[in-house]
Structure 1
Amino acid sequence: MLSFKKFTPVFMATAMLVSGCATTGSATDATTEMGIVKPLTDKPGDPVNGKKLVMARDKGNCIACHWLPEATFPGNAGPNLYEAIRNNERSVGWIRQKIVNPKVDNPDTLMFTFYDNTGKHNLRKDWRGKRVLEAQEVEDVIAFLLTLRK
């Protein structure tokens, strides 16, 4: 007769993998359900520069898809960032993950990656293998987005 005790460790490991409790590695830090918890740089983000990046067509260009106050021609294809950040108690790690590579937790999203430079998720071929935002710029964008909570 087979003993359940013998199979418990295998069963538990399989259950954790299937349920998503395991973490997946990334180029920057371990990704968990809280996102990328560790900042990409040691320097705090600059919200003033972050706002410029969010509005800049050649960098973040978040307003192409997202609505934000003060945007001249905001998009409406993506969620309203002002409402999403202001009303949502998502962690900073979750916000960082959405900027670095939103495909990690939502493979079907239309949003492309801004920091993950594997070339697999960018929209245009000329961006493949390149980063749209550098590490400090990601932290700057996060710092700006967090000002929307106030």
Structure 2
Amino acid sequence: MHFNRLHLAIAATLVALTMPVAAYAQPTEPLDGKALALNRSKGNCITCHEFKGGDFPGSIGPALNDMKARFPDRKELTAIIEDETKRNPETVMPPFGRNLILTDKEISAIVDFLYQL
């Protein structure tokens, strides 16, 4: 039987579709919230906030300390990072979630880090 390119492409697609999804799953590394908070193209929290372990902090925003005591409801702190303009329309804090600067997983990793401060 003779196969042309189209037949081979269809066959390859069918094989791929029948393979278990786990074969394609890549193990994911846990996200480092501190690294995200310091990363200039991601969280960049250090530009405006002072926190333990950060060098050359900004002073526009409040110091990030005792975060778990200040925000016992994790959802509140997550919402602030996602889009602080909902709570405070006058804020200069970027809406990291709404503007797709940070993913939900990255925001969660930053909250994990902040809860350690």
Return the TM-score normalized by structure 1: 0.55
In structure 2, C-alpha distance between the alignment counterparts of 1:94 and 1:47, rounded to whole Å: 23
- Corresponding position of 1:141: 110
In structure 2, C-alpha distance between the alignment counterparts of 1:97 and 1:55, rounded to whole Å: 20
Among 60, 74, 95, the residue aligned to 2:43: 60
Identical pairs, percent: 34
The one-letter amino acid paired with 1:96 is T
For residue 135 of structure 1, report the CA deviation from its aligned partner. 1.5
The structure with the greater share of residues assigned to helix is: 2
Contact 2:49 2:60 in 1 (8 A): yes
Structure 1, unaligned stretches of length 5 or more? 1-45, 118-130
In structure 1, C-alpha distance between the alignment counterparts of 2:105 and 2:115, rounded to whole Å: 15
1:106 partner SS: coil
Among 100, 104, 111, the residue aligned to 2:93: 111
- Corresponding position of 2:21: none
Return the TM-score normalized by structure 2: 0.69
Among 71, 75, 91, the residue aligned to 1:93: 75
Evaluate the alpha carbon distance shift between residue 143 and residue 86 of structure 1 in structure 2; reply closer, same or farther with a 3 A threshold.
closer
| CA distances 1:53-111 after superposition (whole Å, capped 9, x unpaired) | 0011111000000001111111111000124x154144101000001000111111111
The one-letter amino acid paired with 1:74 is P
Task: Please provide the CA RMSD for this pair.
Answer: 1.9
Contact 2:37 2:46 in 1 (8 A): yes
What are the within-5 Å matches in structure 2 for residues 1-150 of structure 1? 49-83=32-66, 85=67, 87-117=69-99, 131-148=100-117
In structure 2, C-alpha distance between the alignment counterparts of 1:82 and 1:141, rounded to whole Å: 13
| CA distances 1:27-67 after superposition (whole Å, capped 9, x unpaired) | xxxxxxxxxxxxxxxxxxx8861110001111100000000
Structure 2, unaligned stretches of length 5 or more? 1-28
Structure 1 segments of 4 or more deviating over 3 A? none
Greater Cα radius of gyration, structure 1 or 2:
2
Aligned residue pairs, count: 89
Contact 1:55 1:61 in 2 (8 A): yes
